[in-house]
């Protein structure tokens, strides 16, 4: 049995360099690759292009990379929880490409499947479609969107095995699975790493063929973006 296991996050991120493009999984702060992000901060790599549904918050997630000006361009759908992101974008320090959420997911999935591009109706007739090829199918207009080209995908799963098979939990399934195999190298960090054969094959969300490196992460904070509590009566 082929093993994809590496000893730690430092080994998992070997080959990371300045100027690379990264896919980073997660939805809000749910299911983000906390260990990989922390190591990117420690490596002090710069001029990065980061593709992620959101940009974290000021002091957590991708917000940590933004604090150190390590990100040159951010490709996202939702960025409303990060004041530093807003400041850098409005000042022109950060290049930003906003993409409809479904289009972002499908551009990841196209890359995963080896498709060069997709047609989507989302964004037709808006600024999103400016400068892009459009085409009519069955009386409806579609916009051509290219699959992402990334150097690394960093994803976080609830459980995985040494062969790279992954199980995600809850909202972490929104973008993490689509990003597996959508880059040259996919790095998966998991809360629990088990020997190959221990996972129920019927429960596996992503097979190991889409993963090149896997390691067991540590010290997950699992932060909540906005905590809402019922007031005491």
pLDDT tens digit at each of 233 positions of the chain: 789 999 999 999 999 999 999 999 999 889 999 999 999 999 999 999 999 999 999 889 999 999 999 999 999 998 877 889 999 999 999 999 999 999 999 999 999 999 999 999 999 999 989 999 999 999 999 999 999 999 999 999 999 999 999 999 999 999 999 999 999 999 999 999 999 999 999 999 999 999 999 999 998 887 777 778 888 87
What pTM was computed for the model?
0.93
With a CB cutoff of 8 Å and minimum separation 6, the contacts of 230 are none
Please report the pLDDT score of residue 223 as a whole number: 75
Q: Where are the alpha helices (DSSP H) in 49-100?
A: 63-67, 83-91
Among 25, 64, 59, which residue's Cα sits nearest to residue 44? 64
Question: What residue segments make up the domains of the chain, in order of their start?
Answer: 9-100+149-216
CATH (residue range 9-100+149-216): 3.40.1080.10
Please report the pLDDT score of residue 82 as a whole number: 85
Please report the pLDDT score of residue 101 as a whole number: 94
């Amino acid at each position: 049995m082929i093993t994809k296991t590496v000893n730690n996050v430092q080994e998992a991120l070997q080959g990371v360099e300045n100027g690379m493009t990264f896919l980073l999984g997660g939805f809000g702060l749910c299911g983000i690759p906390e260990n990989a992000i922390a190591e990117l901060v420690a490596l002090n790599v710069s001029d990065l292009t980061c593709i992620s549904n959101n940009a974290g918050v000021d002091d957590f997630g991708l917000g940590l990379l933004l604090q150190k000006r390590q990100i040159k361009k951010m490709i996202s759908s939702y960025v409303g929880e990060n004041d530093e992101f807003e400041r850098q974008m409005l000042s022109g320090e950060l290049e930003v490409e906003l993409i409809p959420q479904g289009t972002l997911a499908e551009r990841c999935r196209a890359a995963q499947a080896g498709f060069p591009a997709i047609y989507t109706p989302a964004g037709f007739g808006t600024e999103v479609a400016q400068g892009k090829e459009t085409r009519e199918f069955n009386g409806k207009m579609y916009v051509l969107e290219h699959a992402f080209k990334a150097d690394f995908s960093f994803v976080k799963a609830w459980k995985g095995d040494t062969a790279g098979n992954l199980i995600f939990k809850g909202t972490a399934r929104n973008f993490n699975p689509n990003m597996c195999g959508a880059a040259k190298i996919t790095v998966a960090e998991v809360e629990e790493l088990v020997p190959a054969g221990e996972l129920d094959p019927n429960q596996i969300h992503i097979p190991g063929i889409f993963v090149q490196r896997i390691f067991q992460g540590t010290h997950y904070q699992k932060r909540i973006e906005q905590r809402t509590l019922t007031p005491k009566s």
